[in-house]
Structure 1
């Protein structure tokens, strides 16, 4: 009879669970049932252990209660459809709509033919993004070692596509806000003893919101250099979309080389053109200092650069931007 009762209770709880109703059995009963299972037998009688505690029968309290402390997430026997939205040298990026939240997420999946070293960098990228905590970096959520992929927040545009589509109408004040968010993100990772080493118009993402608000998100940390790590080797191959012509080896890469790439991105933000700005306005002077042919003439850290950009003001010649 006890075995039959336990089976009936289990079936009721399972049925409620499938109906997305989270129910808890009275704790004393649950404990008693678990303690009985080891010695109950279907024939010949069940010998009750000497140390078995008598079960207290509850008469005037609910035996089953709704659990308000948990949230029930949907379970799917089939996968969700992925849509390819980007591809690089090491990975493909897909988007999908999560069935629980009804919003888009992204999946970054390493290519099958990656070398062991590049796969290590792919995993390192996830680990670094996971430990960073700042609003101007893309958030990552879960790494799957079997599929060699990780989930991350979805961003609608790269910086290149965002500005290209709006270049004729984007105001100077908006460009300045985008530039500062970008710089705040870079300054944060530098404060964490990291150098990105692959800053480009493709690796800066833009998350858009209703009403025109935007949030800049740094991504693609596959070539990141951790100053505390010894992983960077002397013969590390020179990579990255924007390469400083003064850099002869990735091993020698420092903040001033990063400043060069930052200058190219700032030039695009303020002009909408991929060629470096060459005018006499304040934004052009900032870009020229970032990309100076002598390292000593460049900004020596991002804070110096932030201070200069914060001082920029719109002028009649800036107004179309």
Structure 2
């Protein structure tokens, strides 16, 4: 669809392209006077179906709302709540919010993660550009890597052995490479996001776009690769966080996933 062109599908008038990624393209669309975001995906395996399943039925102020989904023209289309404020990555880099505002953002993200985990949903792709903004409200988005898990007990963490999948660079917990996927991977990602937001460290991505990325001193020294002492020293130097909040961030990015706090425990520090 070229610039300035629009098309209609299942009653939705599709307008401008909002973005694209590994899992599809996202467009702005309208239906019955309301504006939505619509995601266009190729259905080539069960992953796309899992995205729909993991998102359906979720209803929380800090999670982008699922509206509808259907197959047409050989693609899977997922209709979502439209957030006019852009994403958290661009907000932090362009608006340079103060520490109080950053804490407010973190708290909302943790509310969203807490809700997902209470509904047995692992997001697995938490990073600033997957957090959308609608006014002063932040909403977790992009469930392309999300999974639903079933528990046979009430343990805080539950292994999904063999469920390998890549998360976002700089935000992926070390155990993911071993196929050890638990709720703790989301906690690690949020901890990395906090570090990136307060340090303002960035990398250049496609087209020269600047993305917040947590690392120590240089982009080759990711949080995932750093020693526990190096992480503690680096977080300790961040301005705008209390001592207790710094201690919590260090716990959130521990290598040992069993030692990481729950979203509820992390939220209590912010």
State how far apart, in whole Å, the 1-side matches of 2:122 and 2:199 are. Answer: 26
State how far apart, in whole Å, the 2-side matches of 1:79 and 1:151 are. Answer: 9
State how far apart, in whole Å, the 2-side matches of 1:125 and 1:76 are. Answer: 21
Structure 2 partner of 1:288 = 250
Deviations 1:251-301 (A, max 9, x none): x211223221110112233443333553345343332221123335432x1
Q: Is the 1:179–1:269 contact (alpha carbons within 8 Å) kept by the matching residues of 2? A: no
Structure 2 partner of 1:221 = 143
Deviations 1:28-64 (A, max 9, x none): xxxxxxxxxxxxxxxxxxxxxxxxxxxxxxxxxxxxx
1:177 aligns with 2:70: no
TM superposition shift of 1:78: 9.1
Structure-2 change in CA distance of 1:275 and 1:234 (3 Å) = closer
Work out which of the residue numbers 254, 262, 265 in structure 1 matches 2:190.
Answer: 262
TM superposition shift of 1:76: 11
Structure 2 partner of 1:201 = 128
State how far apart, in whole Å, the 2-side matches of 1:78 and 1:190 are. Answer: 34
TM superposition shift of 1:217: 0.9
Mark the runs of 5 or more structure 2 residues left unpaired by the alignment: 1-7, 152-158, 202-212, 216-233
Q: Is the 2:50–2:147 contact (alpha carbons within 8 Å) kept by the matching residues of 1? A: no
Structure-2 change in CA distance of 1:85 and 1:294 (3 Å) = same
Q: Is the 2:166–2:177 contact (alpha carbons within 8 Å) kept by the matching residues of 1? A: no
Bigger share in strand = 2
Structure 2 partner of 1:308 = 269
Structure 2 partner of 1:88 = 21
1:278 aligns with 2:254: no
TM-score w.r.t. length of structure 2: 0.71
TM superposition shift of 1:195: 1.4
TM-score w.r.t. length of structure 1: 0.60
State how far apart, in whole Å, the 2-side matches of 1:204 and 1:95 are. Answer: 17
After TM superposition, the structure 1 = structure 2 runs for residues 133-148 of structure 1, keeping only pairs within 5 Å, are: 133-146=59-72, 147-148=75-76
State how far apart, in whole Å, the 2-side matches of 1:172 and 1:86 are. Answer: 29
The count of residues paired between Structure 1 and Structure 2 equals: 218
Q: Is the 2:28–2:82 contact (alpha carbons within 8 Å) kept by the matching residues of 1? A: yes
1:108 aligns with 2:45: no
Structure-2 change in CA distance of 1:142 and 1:296 (3 Å) = closer
Q: Is the 1:176–1:270 contact (alpha carbons within 8 Å) kept by the matching residues of 2? A: no
| Higher Cα Rg, which structure | 1
Q: CA RMSD in A?
A: 2.9
TM superposition shift of 1:175: 1.4
Work out which of the residue numbers 149, 152, 172 in structure 1 matches 2:77.
Answer: 149
Q: Is the 2:131–2:141 contact (alpha carbons within 8 Å) kept by the matching residues of 1? A: yes
- Segments of 4+ moved more than 4 angstroms: 75-79, 232-235
State how far apart, in whole Å, the 1-side matches of 2:24 and 2:265 are. Answer: 35
State how far apart, in whole Å, the 1-side matches of 2:174 and 2:90 are. Answer: 26
SS at match of 1:308: coil
Deviations 1:201-258 (A, max 9, x none): 22221122xxxxx1111111122222229xx9854443110221244433x2112232
Deviations 1:88-109 (A, max 9, x none): 11210011344x32x4311101
State how far apart, in whole Å, the 2-side matches of 1:142 and 1:258 are. Answer: 26
